[in-house]
Amino acid sequence: QCRSWLITCRGVAKKVRNAHCSNRQISEVGAEACRECPNCKHIIDNSDVAIQWPGLPAGVKFDPSDLELLEHLEQKIGVGGSKPHMFIDEFIPTVENDAGICYSHPENLPGTNKDGSSAHFFHSISNAYGCGQRKRRRISNSDRTTSDEHVRWHKTGKSKPVYDNGVMKGWKKILVLYKGSQTGGKPDKTDWVMHQYHLGVEENEKVGEFVVSKIFYQLKTRPVDKSEAEMANEESTAFTASICPKTPMTKIPPCRPKNSPCETEQNDPVQ
């Protein structure tokens, strides 16, 4: 006999967020597999058929654009009386100072992986020191002591404005995680990248302001072998020649000197 599948909106959100995993079956449903009958208060349990629940198709993921992330940030802080989506916390959790961006390595943040997928977080900005405007970007442990590796986020490139129909919505910064060199020299660049977004027309975010960040591990691309590159170039050249044949050059006759026989004949009036 076919049984109904019980799953809540949060259960669906959890599976969409984790749809990049190789196991696409909705198996770990937990509380989503149980529901109380509103009339008799009987608990309906579907956990025994959880393994039969369908997964999500490949490619389903949470991948908002720059503008959409700023719109979620507006709803998070209540701009214009707006309210956040009912289960946005499943997709963009809020990290506090004790477990925030600058208090934990990206590997220890919830939802981060080294498979190229992105994790999103709401967090607030704090200064590195009691005076000055320098932002805190050095990662430290929860006991507020600096980590042994001297890991720090460094901004790279210029801040980019984000527009909505020609009106500036906010700014985007790109930061890369660097780790202190073992020899005490120049810091080593890691493959962890963070895109940080904040609202407003000011390029620099303010202390205590909420921002939204996207963190991901940048996968290295495989170098193309020389023979493969030459083969691809030959195929491209052959394809171009087949669809764009060259027009053969016509032989241009040489210029004839004045009073040549042909010119004399052409200039003589017809009798």
What would the pLDDT profile of 27-36 be if each residue is shown by its tens digit? 444 455 666 7
The whole-number pLDDT of residue 144 equals 46
**Which domains are assigned to the chain?**
66-217 (2.170.150.80)
The whole-number pLDDT of residue 25 equals 47
The whole-number pLDDT of residue 64 equals 94
**Tokens encoding 263:** 């010119």
Q: What is the dihedral of CA 61, 64, 65, 69, to 10 degrees?
A: -160
From residue 84, give the alpha-carbon distance in Å to each of 75, 122, 169. 5, 12, 17
Give every residue of the chain whose pLDDT is below 50, as ranges.
1-3, 22-30, 50-51, 142-148, 263-266
Rounded to whole angstroms, the Cα distance separating 250 from 31 reads 81
H-helix or E-strand spanning residue 215 = strand 210-217
Which of 1, 173, 187 lies closest to 101 in space, CA to CA? 173
Q: What is the dihedral of CA 158, 159, 161, 162, to 10 degrees?
A: 120
Buried b (16+ CB within 10 A) or exposed e, 209-220: bebbbbbbbeee
How wide is the angle at C-alpha 196 spanned by C-alphas 113 and 173, nearest 5°? 120
Contacts of 117 (CB under 8 A, 6+ apart): 20, 61, 216
Rounded to whole angstroms, the Cα distance separating 48 from 42 reads 17
**Tokens encoding 175:** 């930061």
Q: Amino acid identity of 61? A: K
